[in-house]
Amino acid sequence: MSVAGNSRRKSERQGEGQYEGRQGHIPDLKTPVIEAWKFQYPGSDTSLEVQIPEFTCICPKTGLPDFATLVITYVPDKLCLELKSLKEYINFYRDVGIFHEHVVNKVLQDCVQTCKPKSMEVRGTFNPRGGIQTSALARFTSPKILK
Protein backbone atom coordinates (compact mmCIF):
# COMPACT_ATOMS: atom_id res chain seq x y z
CA MET A 1 0.00 0.00 0.00
CA SER A 2 1.29 3.46 -0.84
CA VAL A 3 1.99 6.16 1.75
CA ALA A 4 -0.57 8.41 0.03
CA GLY A 5 -3.23 5.68 0.38
CA ASN A 6 -2.48 5.31 4.10
CA SER A 7 -2.69 9.05 4.78
CA ARG A 8 -5.92 9.39 2.77
CA ARG A 9 -7.51 6.54 4.69
CA LYS A 10 -6.31 7.98 8.01
CA SER A 11 -7.76 11.43 7.20
CA GLU A 12 -11.06 9.80 6.16
CA ARG A 13 -11.18 7.92 9.48
CA GLN A 14 -10.67 11.22 11.27
CA GLY A 15 -13.58 12.76 9.32
CA GLU A 16 -11.54 15.10 7.13
CA GLY A 17 -12.64 15.54 3.55
CA GLN A 18 -15.80 13.45 3.71
CA TYR A 19 -18.17 16.17 4.81
CA GLU A 20 -16.42 19.44 4.06
CA GLY A 21 -18.62 21.86 2.17
CA ARG A 22 -21.80 19.83 2.68
CA GLN A 23 -23.25 21.75 5.66
CA GLY A 24 -21.82 25.28 5.69
CA HIS A 25 -25.05 26.66 4.24
CA ILE A 26 -27.33 25.24 6.95
CA PRO A 27 -27.26 28.17 9.46
CA ASP A 28 -28.39 30.53 6.66
CA LEU A 29 -30.76 28.05 4.96
CA LYS A 30 -33.95 29.82 3.84
CA THR A 31 -36.82 27.95 5.45
CA PRO A 32 -40.60 28.49 5.47
CA VAL A 33 -41.90 31.05 7.94
CA ILE A 34 -43.13 29.81 11.30
CA GLU A 35 -45.96 31.98 12.58
CA ALA A 36 -46.69 32.87 16.21
CA TRP A 37 -49.70 33.99 18.22
CA LYS A 38 -50.02 36.12 21.36
CA PHE A 39 -49.79 34.17 24.63
CA GLN A 40 -52.39 35.40 27.13
CA TYR A 41 -50.40 34.39 30.25
CA PRO A 42 -47.00 36.02 29.67
CA GLY A 43 -46.05 36.15 33.37
CA SER A 44 -46.51 32.43 33.88
CA ASP A 45 -43.93 29.69 33.56
CA THR A 46 -46.11 27.47 31.39
CA SER A 47 -44.13 24.72 29.73
CA LEU A 48 -45.26 23.63 26.27
CA GLU A 49 -44.19 20.46 24.48
CA VAL A 50 -44.68 19.83 20.77
CA GLN A 51 -43.97 16.28 19.59
CA ILE A 52 -43.22 15.63 15.94
CA PRO A 53 -43.05 11.83 15.54
CA GLU A 54 -42.69 11.77 11.75
CA PHE A 55 -39.77 14.12 11.04
CA THR A 56 -37.91 13.23 7.84
CA CYS A 57 -34.74 14.60 6.26
CA ILE A 58 -32.02 13.32 3.95
CA CYS A 59 -28.57 12.06 4.93
CA PRO A 60 -26.18 14.47 3.17
CA LYS A 61 -23.61 11.71 2.71
CA THR A 62 -25.72 8.84 1.36
CA GLY A 63 -28.85 10.59 0.08
CA LEU A 64 -30.99 8.11 2.04
CA PRO A 65 -33.90 9.27 4.20
CA ASP A 66 -33.47 9.77 7.95
CA PHE A 67 -36.47 9.51 10.27
CA ALA A 68 -36.78 11.00 13.73
CA THR A 69 -39.03 12.15 16.51
CA LEU A 70 -38.45 15.81 17.32
CA VAL A 71 -39.65 17.25 20.62
CA ILE A 72 -39.76 21.02 21.07
CA THR A 73 -40.16 22.03 24.71
CA TYR A 74 -40.38 25.72 25.59
CA VAL A 75 -41.55 28.31 28.08
CA PRO A 76 -43.18 31.11 26.10
CA ASP A 77 -42.68 34.75 26.95
CA LYS A 78 -45.22 36.69 24.85
CA LEU A 79 -45.67 34.45 21.79
CA CYS A 80 -46.40 30.78 21.05
CA LEU A 81 -45.57 28.76 17.96
CA GLU A 82 -48.48 28.37 15.54
CA LEU A 83 -48.72 24.64 14.80
CA LYS A 84 -50.00 24.62 11.20
CA SER A 85 -47.11 26.78 10.01
CA LEU A 86 -44.74 24.67 12.15
CA LYS A 87 -45.99 21.56 10.35
CA GLU A 88 -45.31 23.17 6.96
CA TYR A 89 -41.87 24.24 8.21
CA ILE A 90 -41.08 20.68 9.36
CA ASN A 91 -42.23 19.18 6.04
CA PHE A 92 -39.68 21.40 4.26
CA TYR A 93 -36.87 19.20 5.61
CA ARG A 94 -38.05 16.12 3.69
CA ASP A 95 -35.79 17.10 0.79
CA VAL A 96 -32.94 18.67 2.77
CA GLY A 97 -29.60 16.95 3.26
CA ILE A 98 -28.75 17.76 6.88
CA PHE A 99 -26.87 16.13 9.73
CA HIS A 100 -28.79 15.20 12.87
CA GLU A 101 -26.81 17.64 15.00
CA HIS A 102 -27.66 20.44 12.60
CA VAL A 103 -31.38 19.58 12.52
CA VAL A 104 -31.89 20.35 16.19
CA ASN A 105 -29.81 23.53 16.05
CA LYS A 106 -31.52 24.88 12.91
CA VAL A 107 -35.01 24.12 14.23
CA LEU A 108 -34.08 25.73 17.54
CA GLN A 109 -32.65 28.81 15.77
CA ASP A 110 -35.79 29.29 13.67
CA CYS A 111 -38.26 28.64 16.51
CA VAL A 112 -36.44 31.00 18.89
CA GLN A 113 -36.37 33.69 16.22
CA THR A 114 -40.14 33.29 15.76
CA CYS A 115 -41.44 33.30 19.34
CA LYS A 116 -38.54 34.61 21.48
CA PRO A 117 -39.27 32.24 24.40
CA LYS A 118 -37.92 32.37 27.93
CA SER A 119 -36.30 29.01 27.21
CA MET A 120 -36.49 26.29 24.60
CA GLU A 121 -34.94 22.97 23.75
CA VAL A 122 -35.21 20.79 20.69
CA ARG A 123 -34.46 17.09 20.99
CA GLY A 124 -34.15 14.82 17.98
CA THR A 125 -34.19 11.05 18.41
CA PHE A 126 -33.24 9.57 15.06
CA ASN A 127 -34.14 6.04 14.04
CA PRO A 128 -31.23 3.58 14.06
CA ARG A 129 -29.18 3.15 10.90
CA GLY A 130 -26.53 0.50 10.74
CA GLY A 131 -27.16 -0.38 14.37
CA ILE A 132 -26.52 3.18 15.65
CA GLN A 133 -29.18 5.50 17.05
CA THR A 134 -28.50 9.21 17.42
CA SER A 135 -30.11 11.66 19.82
CA ALA A 136 -29.23 15.34 19.71
CA LEU A 137 -30.33 18.16 22.02
CA ALA A 138 -30.00 21.91 21.46
CA ARG A 139 -30.92 24.46 24.17
CA PHE A 140 -31.67 28.16 24.42
CA THR A 141 -32.18 30.36 27.48
CA SER A 142 -33.17 33.98 27.05
CA PRO A 143 -30.54 36.47 28.23
CA LYS A 144 -33.37 38.15 30.21
CA ILE A 145 -33.72 34.96 32.29
CA LEU A 146 -29.99 34.70 32.97
CA LYS A 147 -29.81 38.19 34.53
The catalytic residues are 59, 66
Find all residues with CB under 8 Å of 39, minimum gap 6, and list them.
Answer: 46, 76, 77, 78, 79, 80
Give 119's Cβ-side CA count (13 Å radius).
10
Give the 3-state secondary structure of residue 51.
Answer: strand
Beta strands in the chain (DSSP E): 36-38, 48-58, 65-75, 79-81, 119-129, 132-141
In sequence order, what are the beta bridge partners of 125?
69, 135
